[in-house]
Structure 1
Amino acid sequence: MKPHQVEGFNFLVRNLAGDHPGGCILAHAPGSGKTFMIISFMQSFLGKYPNARPLVVLPKGILSTWKKEFQTWQVEDIPLYDLYTVKADSRPQQLEVLKQWMDNKSILFLGYKQFSSIVIDNSNNNASIACRDILLKVPSILILDEGHTPRNENTDMVQSLAKVLTPRKVVLSGTLYQNHVREVFNVLNLVRPKFLKMETSKPIVRRIQSRIHISGVKRFDELVENTLQKDPDFKRKVAVIHDLREMTSKVLHYYKGDFLDELPGLVDFTVVLKLTPRQKHEVEKVRKILRKFKMSAVGSAVYLHPKLKPLADKCVEKSVLQKQKCVEKSISDNIMDDFIANLDVRDGVKSKFFRNMLNLCESAGEKLLVFSQYLLPLKYLERLAVKWKGWGVGKEIFVISGDSTAEQREFSMDKFNNTPEAKIFFGSIKACGEGISLVGASRVIILDVHLNPSVTRQAIGRAFRPGQKRKVFVYRLVAGDSPEEEDHNTCFKKELISKM
């Protein structure tokens, strides 16, 4: 173990293995080895408490990564149960798996949605009631990976997790601060109920309140957020940050990732690109879109190439009608190939940047990783790469979206990282942003601005992490003089708070 992992391990022991256990948060930078640390701790915990039953709740897409890590690091052959591998879809089938977990020294893995769907199921049949009771009463320790996921106190997910009886709740997160200070306190309340009202917190809450006076603002989290974002008094900001660190020191272990300095290096560029005249014309139409989601989705396409706007409009409208995200299948390869057949790429500033980067990577023998929030831009660039280079998907080109199965994810990661033929990886930033390693890439393009900057940090952490042998260059593309530039400025302020 590295020094920060030893520190984190001892922190877990203090909180979880004593006579008066309580929940805690490991906020370690992406790629700093949280999974390895918690696997080591769980094996030690089961060694001391063989009748304990750990439950790990995590984004479903990273289950295979966890299992692979367990197989690599476990000392004892501990059975790992989940509902997906055995296709336990009905409550009676799920109950059988849960009973196996109860009866054996083992660990259970569940996705966040799967967990909350079982707990909020109000059916009166015996199997549903038994499943719900087991999940709420049996876990001896509850581990929440990517624990910033349950951060909105009004969701079924958070309310379901809060009902689990064990006081041993552990949140693992590389990006604890997401959008608002309130969300951080929601996570603190999940691991330590009524955190701000605890005897250790009260005097510090009063101290912070005595420093801040904002007319009309009464909520504690809003006072803190206003101070960190808008207060011109730098000394007061620093004092509040010190107070917050003191208040959370016993329940939150923070590590910013100094050991990543041992890697060859990270060069992180924000590239503000001047739109072409045709793009400027289309951007004026984008500005008039009232719905933020549509403005962002259509804008993302227009900043790549102005002629993508009709396709983006159609894709967004279809997704609204079907109440789902714009799916890749809605734009087939044939439709996109016909679309780009006679396209002048020079009309799109981000398209030109992509072509130049593709050529640079090919000549330098480097691999390229491209992230976007939306699938239409990724499909467009994928087909451009096929047209320009004659490359094929599954050989030189790899793609992961939210629809990719665990097997497809594993195949794409392995081939991209380990085969010399692989050239470029296209990833949905949400589907690829957590729990996977793409260290084969040394150049990363972030195509659009995500309003939650921690999502972008997680994405960069897929390439800039242990195992990386090259210096990583990141290019965050921003369309100049557009709504995207305004979003970038908002995110910059959020980024500052997370670094505090």
Structure 2
Amino acid sequence: CKNPWGRSDARELGKSDNSSFFEFQKEFGCDSHFDCGFYDHADGTVWDLIPGTRSSMFPHQREGFEFIWNKIAGSIDLETLKKGTGSDGGSGCIISHAPGTGKTRLTIIFLQTYMKLYPNCKPMIIAPPSMLLTWEEEFQKWNVDIPIHNLSKAELSGMENDLAVSLLFKKKKHVNRERDVDVNGIRWAKLYSWCKKGGILGISYPLFEQLAGKRNKPDGKKGWKKCKDAEDERARKRKTAECEEFSKVLLEYPGLVVFDEGHTPRNEDSLIWKAVSEIQTKKRILLSGTPFQNNFNELFNTLCLVQPDFEKKLEDACKEDSDRKYAGKRKNRAKLLWSRFTSSIGKGEDEMEDANLKTLRVIIDRLAHVHNGNILQEHLPGLRSVLVKLKPAPLQERVIEDIQRSTNYFRRQYEETLASIHPSLLLTRVGELSVSEDDLKRDKMNPHAGVKTKFLIELIQLSEALNEKVLVFSQFLDPLNFIKDLLRSYLNWHEDREVMCLDGNCDIKQRHSSLKVFNDPSSEAKVLLASTKACGEGINLVGASRVVLLDVEWNPSVERQAICRAFRVGQKKFVYTYHLITSGSNEEEKNRRQAEKDRQSKLIFCTSDKANEQQKVQATACEDKILEEMVRHEKLRSMFVELAQQKSNLMEDKESSPSTS
């Protein structure tokens, strides 16, 4: 096959002792992604490619498997696939299964069969950085012998092509000395191996943006600095060529792309969304338990990502109206049509009969396979979710009232979130508060000075007595660090022993080590403090049976994903979750906004009427003895304002049944 990069550039630019790029450029050559090959020695359906696997899958996974095949290839019948006569093939799809219901395994099974039938398809998985190792572990767990070339790893895996390794270490005495080779050289070795040897290419969203986006190109946003001399000019040309070729390979070579946590690139102004939108193949699988995040505009971007011609289809469907109403606005016509189309959804008296909603559901049904998480209710011990509204301590209440007078909206939101947990988190702002610095310092290590820390410390101690582990989530690092210090001061618990931490500052290996220790029933770990941003879909924390959401996010899907770190396939205990809200704070308004977004998500992403029937909340199946003890306790009961039990089905709208203490 002709080298897509050409040899003349390498001769012109010369070689660099610090990079193996041009060595690979000379040798690189592989089939176009349009030629995926076809393994024609098979009969029956795609299920016959993996005998025995079907019986080990849940019903929703089996349905999802066939749905993906019909969307990506057009059929599940091998003879039809061989003849290429399948219908609706070559498009993308969304797998919208509730968090924790086995989307990763479903995708692995599909990739296993698809690569058997199309061995040259060159699949690529784009995922959050922390999830790439999880993908590797899942392939090993299910004994799927397909090499994964993780481009985000700065070392070789041992699965690289021999020629790639020899080129990489051409001038080195020892083949295992990765430190002596630049990172880009290792990346080229993996790309070369992916094309020549096969397997799956794995890459994180940030790295894909860096290598395939326009940010680091000469004509991009940042551009290059002016060259001082000829040597700088040659270096610039080498860098330019390398950036262009990275981009070319990542955008043009994959024949199939999997977007894990596919709701990540949902803002059309973000660099990552612009980068992934340039991928050429239309065969795209978007995995997300929460595809509707904040609003209909983000949903529009998600649909455009999974089906690149979605804008055109929308325009064609509304062509007459579009031409009349949006003449002269062709660039944003589809977006304007979408905004007009969705503006009425959920706002009428009989919202279920809204014509536009019905049309949108038809669109979603064609693009997405939805599972609302019933499998978790059927196969796990259960989930009990409670909204806990708490009365702030006197000093805490004064601090919150001071912050609410601020005219800076974003600063007010952040500081009120901190003060709702514990007032001493505002020590750095004491000059702007009516309380004294001495008051805040005096109560710094007093958990009872903050109503949420008071609740949390009591819950943790009672959970320890029942041999249950607690998972604590916050969207900010300051509260997590504060609680870590509080546990050390109040209970003499230490990090990496009783207390584990998981946030964006942890490297991938440290993260996996912490997860392993926390999930080990025999370990000393009792509490895991986790950032919601660093703990997305796919992270397994089934070691916890108590989940505390310390603050309130505007986006309800973030909290839903957090809960499903513990409430997922593999959980052996009943899971209790606590959504903490400080009375009188802006968290009450956030919670109302969450409910509205949840309601919109339920309207759009639903399964059959049967699947959406009201389910009985499982409170009677397993009452919360710890919460009951806290509510009855003479010294604790006064902090409770309201307890509202929430529906346990994570893909449905949350409906609470209030009860006060």
- Shorter-chain TM-score range: 0.7 to 0.9
The residue correspondences of 1:412-451 to structure 2 (distance < 5 A) are 412-420=514-522, 421-451=524-554
**Residue matched to 2:451:** 349
- Higher mean displacement: 342-351 or 396-405: 342-351
Larger RCO, structures 1/2 (Cα 8 Å, 6+ apart): 1
The alpha-carbon deviation at position 78 of structure 1 amounts to 2.9
Provide the secondary structure at the position in 1 that maps to 2:305: helix
Deviations 1:229-283 (A, max 9, x none): 543343444x443321212222211111110112111111111111222222111
Give the one of 234, 243, 250 matched to 1:135: 250
Give the one of 188, 201, 205 matched to 1:95: 188
The residue correspondences of 1:149-160 to structure 2 (distance < 5 A) are 149-160=264-275
Give the one of 175, 178, 183 matched to 2:298: 183
The 1-side partners of 2:552 and 2:337 are apart by 29
Q: Is the 8 A contact 1:298 1:313 kept in 2?
A: no
**Residue matched to 1:54:** 123
The alpha-carbon deviation at position 196 of structure 1 amounts to 4.7
Provide the secondary structure at the position in 1 that maps to 2:544: coil
**Residue matched to 1:17:** 73
The alpha-carbon deviation at position 176 of structure 1 amounts to 0.4
The alpha-carbon deviation at position 294 of structure 1 amounts to 2.4
The 2-side partners of 1:378 and 1:285 are apart by 23
The residue correspondences of 1:449-488 to structure 2 (distance < 5 A) are 449-488=552-591
Give the one of 161, 180, 200 matched to 1:107: 200
Q: Which amino acid aligns with 1:56?
A: I
The 2-side partners of 1:311 and 1:473 are apart by 35
Q: 1:137 to 1:389 in 2, by over 3 A?
A: same
Deviations 1:49-89 (A, max 9, x none): 11110111110111111110011124334343323242886
Structure holding more helix per residue: 1
Provide the secondary structure at the position in 2 that maps to 1:445: strand
**Residue matched to 1:75:** 144
Q: Is the 8 A contact 2:542 2:571 kept in 1?
A: yes
Q: Is the 8 A contact 1:297 1:312 kept in 2?
A: no
The 1-side partners of 2:498 and 2:205 are apart by 34
The 1-side partners of 2:563 and 2:265 are apart by 22
**Residue matched to 1:257:** 373
Q: 1:387 to 1:267 in 2, by over 3 A?
A: same
Deviations 1:302-323 (A, max 9, x none): 1122222124789xxxxxxxxx
Q: TM-score, normalised by structure 1?
A: 0.87
Q: 1:409 to 1:449 in 2, by over 3 A?
A: same
Q: 1:498 to 1:366 in 2, by over 3 A?
A: same
Q: Which amino acid aligns with 1:395?
A: R
Q: Is the 8 A contact 1:287 1:295 kept in 2?
A: yes
Q: TM-score, normalised by structure 2?
A: 0.67
The 2-side partners of 1:204 and 1:177 are apart by 26
The alpha-carbon deviation at position 299 of structure 1 amounts to 1.6
- Higher mean displacement: 104-113 or 288-297: 288-297
Deviations 1:352-409 (A, max 9, x none): 1112211220222111010001111111111211222222211211001101111111
Q: 1:236 to 1:201 in 2, by over 3 A?
A: farther
% same residue: 36
Q: 1:417 to 1:201 in 2, by over 3 A?
A: farther
Q: Which amino acid aligns with 2:415?
A: V
Provide the secondary structure at the position in 1 that maps to 2:246: helix
The 1-side partners of 2:486 and 2:118 are apart by 56
The alignment of Structure 1 onto Structure 2 pairs a total of residues equal to: 466
Q: Which amino acid aligns with 2:484?
A: E
Q: Is the 8 A contact 1:83 1:89 kept in 2?
A: no
1:36 equivalent in alignment to 2:105: yes
The 1-side partners of 2:244 and 2:255 are apart by 20
Q: Which amino acid aligns with 2:137?
A: K
Q: CA RMSD in A?
A: 2.5
Give the one of 364, 385, 389 matched to 1:272: 389
The 1-side partners of 2:152 and 2:312 are apart by 38
Q: Which amino acid aligns with 1:47?
A: K
The residue correspondences of 1:148-297 to structure 2 (distance < 5 A) are 148-198=263-313, 202=317, 219-223=336-340, 225-237=342-354, 239-261=355-377, 262-297=379-414
The 1-side partners of 2:568 and 2:319 are apart by 36
Q: Is the 8 A contact 1:29 1:255 kept in 2?
A: yes
Task: Report the structure number with the largest CA radius of gyration.
Answer: 2
Can you give the 5+ residue segments of structure 2 that lack an aligned partner in the other structure? 1-56, 75-83, 156-177, 219-236, 322-334, 432-439, 604-661
Can you give the 5+ residue segments of structure 1 that lack an aligned partner in the other structure? 207-217, 315-337
The alpha-carbon deviation at position 454 of structure 1 amounts to 0.4
